[in-house]
Amino acid sequence: MESELTQKVRAYWEAEACGTATHIVGELRPMTREWFERIEEYRYAMEPFIHAVAQFTRHRGKRLLEVGVGAGTDHLQWARAGAQCHGVDLTDAAIETTRARLALYGLSSQLQRVNAEQLPYPDASFDIVYSWGVILCAEHPEQVIAEIDRVLKPGGQFIGMMYSSRSLVALRFWVKYALLAGKPWRSIYDVIYHHMESLGTKPYTSAELRRMFAVFPSVQLIPYLTPYDTARLPGWLARLLPDALGWFVAVRATK
What CATH number is attached to the domain comprising 14? 3.40.50.150
> For the chain, what is the domain count?
1
Does residue 205 fall inside a structural domain? yes
Does residue 208 fall inside a structural domain? yes
Does residue 30 fall inside a structural domain? yes
Does residue 96 fall inside a structural domain? yes
Which residue range(s) make up the domain with 33?
4-163+198-254
Does residue 192 fall inside a structural domain? no
> Which H, E and C letters describe 76-98, residue by residue?
HHHHHCCCEEEEEECCHHHHHHH
What's the rounded Cα separation, in Å, for the pair 139 and 10? 11
Q: 153-164, pLDDT tens digit by residue? A: 999 999 999 999
8 Å CB contact between 221 and 188 = no
CA atoms within 13 A on the CB side of 114: 17
| Average per-residue pLDDT for the chain | 96
What's the rounded Cα separation, in Å, for the pair 37 and 34? 5
Question: Residue 2: its pLDDT value, please?
Answer: 85
Q: 31-45, pLDDT tens digit by residue? A: 999 999 999 999 999
8 Å CB contact between 65 and 126 = yes
3-state secondary structure of 150: helix
Q: 43-81, pLDDT tens digit by residue? A: 999 999 999 999 999 999 999 999 999 999 999 999 999
Give yes or no for residue 1 having a pLDDT over 80. Answer: no
Does residue 249 fall inside a structural domain? yes
Q: 89-99, pLDDT tens digit by residue? A: 999 999 999 99
8 Å CB contact between 163 and 133 = yes
3-state secondary structure of 82: coil
Does residue 193 fall inside a structural domain? no
